[in-house]
Amino acid sequence: MPIKVAIVGVGNFCSAFVQGLYYYKDAKEGEGALGVLNITLGKYHITDIEIVAAFDIDTRKVGKDLSVAIFAEPNNVPKFAEIPELHVIVHKCDPLGSTESALVEMIQVDNSESVDVKEVIRSSGAEIIINLLPSVAEKASKWWAQTAIETKCAFINPTPILIASDPYWSEEFYSSGCIVAGDDLMNQIGSTVLHKALINLFVQRGVHIDESYQLDIGGGSESLAAIDEKGYSKKRSVKTESVSSSVPYDVPLVAGSTDFVDFMKDIRASYFWVKGKCFAGQPVTLDIRLTLPDASAGVSVLLDIIRGVKIALDRNMTGALVEVSAYGFKHPPMQMSITSARQRFLNFVSEQETERS
């Protein structure tokens, strides 16, 4: 049975996501697949995910088949899979303030009229809306959250705009009989998940942490959005809070993006610093760098989230999904350790955990 999703924002992440669906189309359970967390989750294979609608505002993407639009500028994700014509046209939607940031230099806003978004979603049969807008698009993200409620769709929010973890929106989805999962997607091996793992290791091994930071630079559009005056402070606070939750005491800690370097394209470099004291108060310092493709780093996690949300839909659940959100996002409604979140998620998928938080 297909999992029908609508995509909002045909940027770099969307390009990596669409390519990933075809890259793993022949993957078989039990044989393993390089770089993917779960080929099958519950009864759903990766290829059960079907994109039935897409929305953007850039004239280089609007009106194009999604298979073409994902490679249009300013997207700069390398092509790693052959994509057939998808017969999904990218529709123009209202910008809703999405260009009020440093990203305005990258976007060529289409001058055609916006479509009736709700009608397109209803006619497409979409059951899940995935918000892949830039992290600075707060007004637009909240509009799409409301649209999900009004069209009776589940809403997945990979942006740092607080939706699933906001009590107001959580109650709105619950009272409307809809599902929400978020906020701020945690990459498969991104800076936040690695920073949390390092911090957890120090704490578990009895090392007292004195201070720590994790700083990102990159050349993708999200890196540019992250250092915008409004988006930067929000993104940094979300990442800092997520990592700080791994330390059982107060410690000076900062995590977030610091610079945009255009020639890096879809590459992000993350720098980690942890300073502490070990046995007999002796000093210990960790100083490392992680480099990886930015857009594709979170796709494997999103594939699991989509299927987790679908399982929740099958069970007629409503409101913010605790286990799915804690497993895949930096700022879920309930913070958990990486190990606990993963186990709770797997229990949720396999129906072993029946008591709801």
Which one has a higher pLDDT value, 242 or 326? 326
What is 234-245 written as a DSSP string?
HHHHHHHHHHHT
Which residues on neighbouring strands pair with residue 277, listed in sequence order? 208, 283
The least confident of 150-164, 223-237, 313-327 is 223-237
CB 154 within 8 Å of CB 312: yes
The CATH classification of domain 191-295, taken from the options 3.40.960.10, 3.30.360.10, 3.40.50.410, 3.40.47.10: 3.30.360.10
Amino acid 142: pLDDT:
96
Size (the chain), residues: 357
Tokens encoding 21: 């669906």
Q: How far is 110 from 94, CA to CA, in rounded Å?
A: 10
Domain boundary assignment for the chain: 3-186+297-350, 191-295
Q: What is the mean pLDDT of residues 32-41?
A: 84
User: For residue 2, how many other CB atoms are within 10 A of its CB?
Assistant: 14
Nearest to 266 by CA among 220, 201, 214: 220
Helices and strands, counts by H and E, the chain? 11, 13
For the chain, where are the alpha helices, taking DSSP H only? 12-23, 66-69, 117-124, 138-150, 167-175, 191-204, 221-226, 229-244, 299-314, 322-328, 338-350
Place of tokens 């075809």: 22
Nearest to 55 by CA among 99, 5, 100: 5
CATH class of 3-186+297-350: alpha beta
- Tell whether the model's pLDDT for residue 231 goes beyond 50: no
**What tens digit of pLDDT does each residue of 172-184 get?**
999 999 999 999 9
Place of tokens 């942006």: 159
Question: Can you tell me whether residue 229 is helix, strand or coil?
Answer: helix
Nearest to 13 by CA among 213, 300, 299: 299
**What tens digit of pLDDT does each residue of 293-341 get?**
888 889 999 999 999 999 999 999 999 999 999 999 999 999 988 889 9
Tokens encoding 23: 């890259």
Confidence (pTM)? 0.87
Q: What is the mean pLDDT of residues 84-95?
A: 96
The CA-atom distances, in angstroms, between 173 and each of 27, 117, 222, 348 are: 35, 19, 27, 20
Contacts of 155 (CB under 8 A, 6+ apart): 128, 129, 131, 144, 145, 148, 149, 163, 173, 178, 179, 180, 181, 182
- Tell whether the model's pLDDT for residue 23 goes beyond 50: yes
- Tell whether the model's pLDDT for residue 348 goes beyond 80: yes
